[in-house]
Structure 1
């Protein structure tokens, strides 16, 4: 049920309620969001804070589901776009002296801390647009969701899709994941497999009495080492695939010939394939071995042919790129909504001990979206001392 009344969760005293300025400098808003620690499973304080801030904006209809929030304009525009971002971060770094932690710190015009790129800069841009653009040229749905950085079964976006799919409806979606300010279309799919070998346990002093399952895994590693990943053109973008061993388990003790070995394999596949096709490819490669798929998520085609996507690419003014990793654009694609990734910061810095984003990158992202949504440009001059 869609409601603009405070949710049951928000009526209780929040752990820490912060007063956010959604109309000030969007880079300073990013820092304020980063100061509210929100490691996966601990998003409540940030969700409570955002709910209060969004409900103050009279032009939005607000709905809450757990620690996920949906805020929508209801202007009757012929087209609706979705701007989505997740509230959670990976755990804080444990390395002494790491700057990618909480609270955020400024070094000149560069902002350091957990979530700088993944993805509180993007969330700050969403909030700034929600507050300062009450009359966009398209209806806009802003989605802020929990549990993105953990297993997919916990995803707040997935929960919204199950509980209130009507709130996710739109003609085009933008996920504000870090892309260095370039539109990245679609995403690769991902799947994981366990490839097993069996042996016979024996005392290692009498190895000839057993069969070594770890030794028997050598052909599996040879297949992976010799594998040439494909580059697949999908709707004008070239997606590079990969197939890698990511974990090996085997062995009982230091004096026992192992009777079991398990190689975990990750296959990142282009969005021209579905999960069934990806699995068929991996099963063919490891024919003759015991194999099980343990996880998988389909990719998403770029969707750049959609008129809204084409106009957005023009507003950004850069040549689109493919997204090699998996993102939640896949969930939107599964709902029949073309989706792209676009946000401030370098994805290679995400989850790092040195995670950071520049003030200019956040400003540029906001400016591009304002151009596209029909908003007047704001002053993006960097304040003195930053």
Structure 2
């Protein structure tokens, strides 16, 4: 079993946990290593559900904060083991998971061990299967089996945010817009009706669509509605009778899921629309007193989170949540994924200062 030295620096811990591969559905080695070291901490109560590890302080503080991060990555593509590189004189750690999100995870693991007397009680949650279907997500499972472990006054998710605070997140909807035709031999195409040609009207609506920018509780969220996949056709000599255009709607958190679905159906009125995936967003969560205190302590001007993250899970359970972690979100899942060492150290300083100030 790999072992973790959490007395090392947070950049060194980043290197160590990135070099333990943990592609979704293969997180057990890393989960075992985390579980082993947390069991040895007398100030933490530790609970394990599959490859999700929860470690909690029980100090009787008046408030509790949940701090979470996922332990899985997207597939490796010749970008492990990690290596140290420099860009314009600045040190970076290169490799799969450095941005999304093992550098944030490294900071959390280190602080969980070292901060035996934080100003608030802390629930640390490190979970599996974030990068795949939502029904496999460790937090989905935990919410079903142990919802009490989500109880908190405020939550922080260590997703990459350039070492700044990103409030809430956009919602995410995927749908199939389907066009119908009549199948025939392509030599007698006038007998049939080409469903692929009919999809041009769907693409036209997308071409002319203007995505909104919506202010939600002081943050400007940018929306997007785009085709992400198109499929149709039976054979090289057959006029197709069905064509499917998959669209992805990233919607600002002023809308709930039903409202987002209604908007997509209105855009494609007259076509068959099948919603295949829907995850509601989360409002910024910055009006909670603990959130305001946190933002002031880390000295960050909050920005919106455009992508969907698990802050939405906490928000849905009544816990205001923000994203705060090292790394450039544009490099998440990138083959040249790399994280600034300075950002790792900055996030560690910010979280440490806030959790220990009196």
Deviations 1:147-203 (A, max 9, x none): 000000100011111100111110000000000011000000011111111111111
Q: Give the match's secondary structure for 1:214.
A: helix
Check conservation: 1:133, 1:375, Cα contact below 8 A: no
Q: How does 1:1-386 map to 2 (within 5 A)?
A: 17-93=1-77, 98=78, 101-108=79-86, 109-374=91-356
Runs of 4 or more, structure 1, over 2 Å off, are none
What displacement does 1:375 show?
6.0
Q: Give the match's secondary structure for 2:195.
A: coil
What displacement does 1:21 show?
1.2
- Output the CA distance in 1 between the equivalents of 2:309 and 2:92: 26
What displacement does 1:209 show?
1.1
Deviations 1:359-380 (A, max 9, x none): 111110000001111169xxxx
- Output the CA distance in 2 between the equivalents of 1:110 and 1:186: 27
- Output the CA distance in 1 between the equivalents of 2:152 and 2:41: 21
Count residues with an aligned counterpart.
354
Gaps of 5+ in 1: 1-16, 377-386
- Output the CA distance in 2 between the equivalents of 1:122 and 1:157: 17
**Two-structure CA RMSD over aligned residues (Å):** 1.0
Partner of 1:379: none
Q: Give the match's secondary structure for 1:206.
A: helix
- Output the CA distance in 1 between the equivalents of 2:343 and 2:304: 20
Q: Give the match's secondary structure for 2:199.
A: helix
Gaps of 5+ in 2: none
Deviations 1:69-100 (A, max 9, x none): 0000000110100110000000011xxxx5xx
Deviations 1:87-115 (A, max 9, x none): 0000011xxxx5xx222111252111110
TM-score, with structure 2 as normaliser: 0.97
- Output the CA distance in 2 between the equivalents of 1:195 and 1:345: 35
